[in-house]
Structure 1
């Protein structure tokens, strides 16, 4: 078994875990810089497809060109994520964050030049922007473990996801207002500025692994990360459950919700209300999980993930609009009940020198399979009907977390030997 170096010491010498937990993470200047960077990157990630959608409305783009740009961004993301995981474990996580976000920052003005004049230039720029977006995800995840001491990481992860949810809630209105005052090209430059902020404001981290790593092939290094992931059955089980929920429940509701809102209720109000209810629920979930420490945290997180099953179930049944809104509130609460402990456990349990690679596997599957689900859901509805597809997706959303909970170690998102108090060399 490979030797894992000890994590960096807590910043306050002699402080107990309880004392460290009581110190507000919002008083930590290094964390505030990290929080600002992740918030800017999250807002930039959300803003790009929204701004490109506005470009379709003002006829700068056609619907086909929009699809090409979004597909190019997704391809760039998927290609960059595993490579970034390797680089962030080989080199400074802060440096990987800088260069990946800077790549996106440079790509956005190029995309602005291509929109409306050169579709191929815009598509290449979209692919590069997606690569920068994908490359920063595992690096940011690993940098969090270096900047924040372990007792406060759950609070830190909750604060970061809370910021992303708040911006997601208010950003559409702000962006729509800006679209009245500025052109699509100017808005794309603005997204580039957000990426520049994400590149420059995060602090330097403390390297959690010591010693110079031998130079090996990227594929071999990524395979080493896969072996590390296999050492944690709870991680593979949780990742499988998350991927199943995103590929089925998330995709089905994304496709069917607009149809149900139009055909069953006769307006777009249910669509807008459910989307808002989901974000509100996520805000509530992030606030709750920032402080809540259940004894069986892994099982509680998986139970939260299973709450997403109420979303396709509500769309399946002839319920009043309020029931659909309530289902989406539950789904939002549940996804943050899962996300925050999941990120925190990964940062705690995975070997520090392999954290970025394991995190890249997480993002590669959970984010990468979402478009696949969206592509397959519509043909499945045509073949089997919306009721069958929604029912199957609801079953998967409930069953996948339940099955994951049976895997050893998922009770506390920790390896069984550690849970039993054994000490590994």
Structure 2
């Protein structure tokens, strides 16, 4: 089918489902923050619940990647969304009473969130044909960025007329929409054929070895590990993927951590107001929105190198915090970082959907999310002690250097020019 992807009813259903999951994901921390303000939840309890959600996410991502490749991607989205929808009221029930109940429910919600991510990625490749996936991925990432603006503001507005319990139930309804809206994709890909030759004679029975034994079946956990390992082997077939993932992980570990830890400190100590923090994060989101619009229409010939150059732009964020500049320079740096991250994300997702073997796509995508998202909390935990030990200037300088150097090093790996193992097209 040709034409704008947003005129495709099946993609619109998928887009609405991913947007609903994004709204539910981003709204939950703000709803729980309101619970801290009205003293129905302590700050320590908030940390426990959010950490439990992150743990559920990281546990579910690799498992769901295997299941989405083994079974229906649409089915994994359905059950993951339903699990999050059913578990969210558990967070509401524990509010003001048992942090343990809230944490257990948060693990399930995080697992639903984590299970959705690789399944949505693979389902996009089934619903949208190759020629329009760039537009589709840009539309999805645009929605993700909009939710980062809408979820906090919408939560604050609804809090005027609804209590925290009702807001939590609202996020459960969003998860229900995320489960039910996406359309079915292609049938699950068949398993790889066995290497045995049909013409080979059957082996003779061993007469002295006793009675024949029943065929063995590997335990479920062992099978999951083996099938996830197959996805890792597929990832190793694409040097550009490993190089890009390493660069992304390095930028998230350093640049994202600088945003999470150093930006609030600099906003308070250098500029004397939290308004710089809020404005910088808003500028980042607006830059990302502009990047999603740009990359939907612009397809450079060396798209991999362009994407890595965009990723390197994140280095300007910690660099702006290092230098004694006007707040407007900080805002501009974060807008450029947001623009660059979408110049990377959209070609990255599109290339993964195009280059990876379809029956292994969810597993490779789960490896992507596991490493990139998994390193984010590690970086946040590492940066604060590093600032205490070495001072924030050397740490921010190191973060900026890594953000610039890691994508440049990745660009030296074969295949990164076009994010493909295929030979690059000759220049026009």
TM-score, length basis structure 2 = 0.91
Tell whether the 8 Å contact from 2:117 to 2:366 is kept in structure 1 after alignment.
yes
Aligned to 2:384: 378
Alignment of 1:301-380 (within 5 A): 301-380=307-386
**How far 1:210 moved relative to its partner?**
3.4
How big is the shift at 1:167? 2.2
Deviations 1:197-238 (A, max 9, x none): 000000000136235889860000000000000000000000
Structure-2 residue corresponding to 1:15? none
For 1:412 and 1:208, how far apart are their aligned partners in 2? 28
Question: In the alignment, what sits opposite 1:3?
Answer: none
Deviation at 1:172, TM superposition (A): 1.6
Q: Take 1:411 and 1:182, find their aligned partners in 2: how far apart are those partners?
A: 51
1:139 equivalenced with 2:145 (yes/no):
no
Q: Which residue of 1 aligns with 2:98?
A: 118
Shift of 1:80: 0.5
Query: Contact conserved, 1:208 with 1:352, CA < 8 A, in 2?
Result: no
Alpha-carbon separation, structure 2, partners of 1:299 and 1:275: 26
Identify the residue that residue 70 of structure 1 maps to in structure 2: 50
The alpha-carbon deviation at position 52 of structure 1 amounts to 1.1
Matching of residues 85-104 of structure 1 within 5 Å: 85-104=65-84
CA distance in structure 2 between the partners assigned to 1:74 and 1:35 by the alignment: 24
2:73–2:188 contact (8 Å) kept in structure 1: no
Tell me which residue corresponds to 1:148: 128
Between the two proteins, the alignment pairs up a number of residues equal to 400
Give the aligned partner of residue 83 of structure 1: 63
- Structure 1 residue aligned with 2:213: none
| RMSD, aligned α-carbons | 1.4
Structure 2 match to 1:394:
400
**Which of 10, 22, 32 lines up with 1:52 in the alignment?**
32
Residue correspondence of structure 1 range 233-312 to structure 2 within 5 A: 233-312=239-318
Q: Segments of 4+ in structure 1 off by > 4 A?
A: 211-216
In the TM superposition, residue 392 of structure 1 has moved relative to its aligned partner by 0.2
Structure 2 gaps of 5+ residues are 195-216
| Aligned twin of 2:152 | 172
Helix, strand or coil: the match of 2:159?
Answer: helix
Provide the secondary structure at the position in 2 that maps to 1:368: helix
User: Partner residue of 1:205?
Assistant: 185
Q: Distance in 2 between matches of 1:193 and 1:33?
A: 16
1:181 aligned residue: 161
Distance in 2 (alpha carbons) for counterparts of 1:213 and 1:172: 49
Separation in 2, partners of 1:87, 1:179: 38
SS in 2 for 1:180: coil
| Structure 1: gaps of 5 or more residues | 1-11, 13-19
1:195 corresponds in structure 2 to 175
Cα deviations by residue, 1:251-273 (Å, 9 ceiling, x for unpaired): 11211111111111111111111
Structure 1 pair 420–265 and aligned structure 2 pair: CA distance change class (3 A): closer
- The answer to whether the 8 A contact 1:243-1:369 is kept is yes
Match of 2:197 in 1: none
CA contact (8 A) 1:146 1:208 kept: no
Of 3, 12, 30, the residue aligned with 1:32 is: 12
Partner Cα distance (1:282, 1:132) in 2: 26
Q: CA distance change for structure 1 residues 61 and 234 in 2, over 3 Å: closer, same or farther? A: same
For residue 170 of structure 1, report the CA deviation from its aligned partner.
Answer: 2.6
2: CA distance between counterparts of 1:115 and 1:358? 37
Q: Normalised by the size of structure 1, how large is the TM-score?
A: 0.92
Which of structures 1 and 2 has the bigger CA Rg? 2
Mapped to 2, the partners of 1:108 and 1:394 lie a distance apart of: 38
Task: Provide, for residues 83-119 of structure 1, a one-character-per-residue CA deviation record: whole Å limited to 9, x for no partner.
Answer: 0000000000000000011100011011100111111
Instruction: Give the Cα separation in 2 of the matches to 1:186 and 1:342.
Output: 38
Superposition deviation, residue 180 in structure 1: 1.8
